[in-house]
Amino acid sequence: MPSVVKVKTGSKFEDIGSYSRLVAVNDLIFVSLTAGRNPATKLIPADLAEQTHQVLDNIETALAAVDATLADVVASRVFVQFAEDIDPVMAAYAVRMRGIDPALTLTSPTLGSPEYKVEIEVTAWRGASSGSITKTVAPA
Number of domains in the chain: 1
CATH number at residue 50: 3.30.1330.40
Predicted local confidence at residue 100, as pLDDT: 96
Please report which confidence band the pLDDT of residue 14 belongs to, taking 50, 70 and 90 as the band edges: confident
Rounded to two decimals, what is the model's pTM? 0.93
- Do 53 and 69 touch, CB atoms closer than 8 A? no
Give the pLDDT confidence of 62-112 residue by residue, as tens digits.
Answer: 999 999 999 999 999 999 999 999 999 999 999 999 999 999 999 999 998
Q: Is residue 139 part of a domain?
A: no
* Cα–Cα distance for residue pair 29/15, rounded to 1 Å: 20
Work out whether strand 28-34 and strand 118-125 pair parallel, antiparallel, or are unpaired. Answer: antiparallel
Which region holds residue 18: left if phi is over 0, alpha if psi is between -120 and 50, else beta?
A: left
Amino acid identity for residue 51 in this structure: Q
